[in-house]
Chain A
């Protein structure tokens, strides 16, 4: 938006005074550089919030592979272009039309359910990512076993799953997976670790139920006696 605004300003300046053309061009270039640096993934990756979230995750602190580059580092080839949508919500993908098809997106959600083997080899896994907002929308994420192994907790009753950020390519109709809507992960980052939710046993909670069942049993017993008498 800023770049577009700057371009518009430069265009007006061009009409007003031809002498100021070099200045306007310089402004335009500056605005473009600023715009790209402000909204590019590179800039986001350097932001303090992102740095802290990565540090908070023990999974992301694993020893980097050869070459000093982890899987969670941003892929520098993913420059902003027509096939790149930056942060998207899971509900966006859940309600996606063809606009999102084959786009690179980054989504964040809770890993829920099971770590499901994809195919026979076990090289890849399926993880279900659920939106953490009130929509509870879900997307199936296709990732390598190594990426999936970093997810320690999967959400279910009594467990809040790991909050995971996934960057990858979204397919509305995946040709590789017989038309499934899915997200092929390029990188997986653990944002927040999951934890068990304890439900303590409290015998008092059972007393009303026990009383009601006892009353029901007595009523049925009395009923059968009354019926026998009538016969």
Chain B
């Protein structure tokens, strides 16, 4: 039987959503400070006002329940699921008034894309955007990549009682250490260390390329944030191609790969245990998958007529494969090259790579390689059972933070998410085709949205049809939550809104 939300549930949800909105207000004070430092007065005033409005709304929502008590699972799911969309809405306020968006829906699209780390953008004239606005775009990526709930937990906004339920409802989260807060803080340490190191390297490379020091530092910082959280926003509209620098591309490739590995395995390496890292089902599958994809991609491109030289394929092709696999969305080819230079085979290989995505427990999107590996293992196990004598009992195991037995529950969970993703990719492609776009481009773009991949070929652009834009916004939201949380919220809301059926009075 479906359970309804009661008034007390809604009050608790509003209270905790208010806490998340206050975090969003805090994210706006970072660009405010940036604007003050860079003497960008109009953006400074805009972010102060937007942050203030968000702060007031967040504070008011907390009054819905003064003493909210412990969150139950249903309430936690609702808080997690709704917060991504609500924050996208608040983020769109300063973005829209920057004057770089044709419509409000465009600003909302970028807000949701930023928080969900999709990285697709419909901004216009990006190269004239203020430092403050750019800072906000990457702060959205950072907070969204780390996980809004994870951040709230780490600063104690929810209290210790609700932490486990909330943490698991956000998706992409694995317990690394016994305590959830410790786990979150460990992930933050890894991410910030990666960002700090990469910022220095990219900044030095930018300085060498002739970029002035302040711009070099900011571009280094922003690219590093975007790379490690597998976001995809870039400060320049030509994406990574703008820098014409092989070393920068190499650093970003490493960052993207770092971001698409399970953070739980970094904890093992941190403890000095290298064996689990190399024997993990995720890492082994990733290595195999990347080799397969690269070989097919290269073979397909070689069959074409334009980009067939090995240096071109090594530099452009390998980077694009890494970007697609990690669902980052950085590009070293133009959108036009994707459709005119890339063969249809290579194009679809990139889409498939985005669709699968990186490791579970990482910042990458998509189905997740471990789920596919588990389904494969399950298929092999079924074949073994079929061939084995009746008296034999086939047990299958896999390595993920120690040896684990493949249980029907694990297979069911993986299969459910896999099927939901595949159905969504298919449905989204049909919706895009219905808007009059080319079929292969529609498949590519739909996968890029639902997997939070962010590599686009021209359908996602300023002035795109409003209905498709709103559909893609929902798609990015659903993909970030891996569907289950969102479906649970939708069912709960529908059940709550629908009137109760009158019980039949027995005669």
Contacts and interface: CB of A to CB of B under 8 A. Distances in A.
A136 B461 CA distance: 12
Given A157-B129, A173-B312, A179-B333, A140 B238 contact: yes
Identify whether the interface residues of A are mostly helix, strand, loop, or mixed. Answer: mixed
A26 to B, nearest CB: 46
Contacts of A115: 210
Given A172-B306, A216-B55, A117 B241 contact: no
A226 B315 contact: no
A128 interface: yes
Nearest to B55: A216
A47 interface: no
Nearest to B129: A157
A202 interface: yes
A129 to B, nearest CB: 11
Given A205-B42, A216-B59, 20 more contacts: A114-B209, A114-B210, A125-B210, A126-B244, A136-B127, A157-B131, A172-B337, A173-B306, A173-B337, A177-B244, A179-B313, A179-B337, A181-B333, A202-B41, A212-B49, A213-B52, A215-B52, A219-B60, A227-B66, A230-B66
Contacts of B242: 113, 116, 128, 140
A201 B306 CA distance: 52
Interface residues of A, number: 54
Given A136-B237, A179-B307, A216-B56, A206 B48 contact: yes
A173 B306 CA distance: 7
A128 B306 contact: no
A116 B244 contact: yes
A125 B56 CA distance: 49
B334 interface: yes
A212 B446 CA distance: 40
Interface string B117-136: 00000001111111100000
Contacts of A49: none
B312 A116 contact: no
Contact of B315 (A97, A136, A178): A178
Given A136-B237, A157-B131, A230-B66, A117 B210 contact: yes
Contacts of B67: 227, 230-231
B221 interface: no
B243 interface: yes
A116 to B, nearest CB: 5
Most A C-beta atoms less than 10 A away, residue of B48, B127, B340? B127
- Cβ-closest 5 pairs across A and B: A212-B52, A209-B48, A179-B312, A216-B55, A219-B59
Most B C-beta atoms less than 10 A away, residue of A116, A172, A173? A173
A117 B237 CA distance: 19
Most A C-beta atoms less than 10 A away, residue of B44, B63, B128? B128
Contact of A213 (B51, B312, B313): B51
B209 A117 contact: yes
